[in-house]
Amino acid sequence: MIFMYHSLNLVRHLPNTLTCCNLLCGCISVVFALNGEFVTAAYFIMIAAVFDFFDGFAARWLKAYSAIGKELDSLADMVSFGVAPASIMYGLLLGAVTRIGLSAGGWFIALSAFLIAVFAALRLAKFNIDTRQSDSFIGVPTPATALFICSLTFIVQDAGVIATFASNLYVLLAVIAVFSLLMVSELPLFSLKIKSFAWKANRIRYIFLALSVGILAIFRWTGLAMVILLYIVLSIAIRLSAPKTQKESLDV
């Protein structure tokens, strides 16, 4: 009986353990990013995203919700999907300013990458107090922004026009500006939280996941950017096609 009690207690700590794994991966990603190993840093952000998905899934499955779990999740996300991708973007910007011979003040331009971390913090703080975001999101989630930046690291490794475009200084600055604003925008986006496996309740999620698998099968990790853009476009399409009464309820 005592053994079962302690086992149950340990199981209830599983969501927070997964969240801590998310945080650890984010810290490791920052180290690799600041050492110029952007692809490895991107892989650790992707692993952190897996832990982030399963900690919420475990909490719902085990009904192991807690106030500390909610706060811990935001703190972990701040590192893994705020500081880590900002560190990668900092390195990419340094490379871009070096290529165009902009040595004076180039490091200062590169520091703009950390706006990703600043707006990620604002996004997470807003999420914690916004009661509208229990079943959907308002503004692009921080993992989506982080995964888009991860995709850039894979794209710039390839030779060709797309890689040249993706590593362009002004393109990188535009990515920072657009995704920083999207994170704190009032744009409604669907959540990937699956509470049941019914087709009707999860139709858009299943369609999105099927299309995402197809994109990644064709383009591998460089397709992550397309997956994130698909997520945003589908969310906008849902918003535009929703009945007027449903749109008003989303604005409450």
SS3 of 151-168: HHHHHCCCCCHHHHHHCC
| Residue entry with tokens 């997964």 | 18
Mean pLDDT in residue range 73-80: 94
Q: What is the CA radius of gyration of the chain?
A: 19
pTM confidence score: 0.87
56-65, 85-94, 141-150, 240-249: least confident range? 240-249
pLDDT tens digits, one per residue of 135-193: 778 999 999 999 999 999 999 987 677 888 888 999 999 999 999 999 999 999 988 77
Q: Which residues on adjacent β-strands are paired with residue 190?
A: 136
Q: Which residues on adjacent β-strands are paired with residue 136?
A: 190
The encoded tokens of residue 164 equal 């040249």
204 close to 238: Cβ distance less than 8 angstroms: yes
Higher pLDDT, 98 or 39: 39
Q: Which residues on adjacent β-strands are paired with residue 138?
A: 188
Higher pLDDT, 16 or 196: 16
Find all residues with CB under 8 Å of 134, minimum gap 6, and list them.
none
Minimal CA–CA distance to 149: which of 137, 138, 136, 140? 140
Mean pLDDT in residue range 50-73: 76
CATH number of 2-189: 1.20.120.1760
Within 10 angstroms of residue 144's Cβ, the number of other Cβ atoms is 23
| Residue entry with tokens 């560190």 | 87
pLDDT tens digits, one per residue of 211-222: 999 999 999 999
Q: What are phi and psi of 190, to 5 degrees?
A: -75, 150
Predicted confidence (pLDDT) at residue 229 exceeds the cutoff of 60: yes
The encoded tokens of residue 160 equal 């060709």
**Confidence class of residue 63 from pLDDT cuts 50, 70 and 90?**
low
Tell me what pLDDT residue 172 has: 96
136 close to 60: Cβ distance less than 8 angstroms: no
Predicted confidence (pLDDT) at residue 133 exceeds the cutoff of 90: no
* CA–CA distance, 139 with 179 (Å, rounded to integer): 10
C-alpha distances out from residue 56 to 61, 106, 113, 152, Å: 9, 40, 29, 27
User: What single-letter amino acid sits at 137?
Assistant: F
Which DSSP string do the residues of 39-60 spell out, in sequence order?
Answer: HHHHHHHHHHHHHHHHHHHHHH
* CA–CA distance, 182 with 3 (Å, rounded to integer): 49
**Confidence class of residue 251 from pLDDT cuts 50, 70 and 90?**
very low
Higher pLDDT, 243 or 184: 184
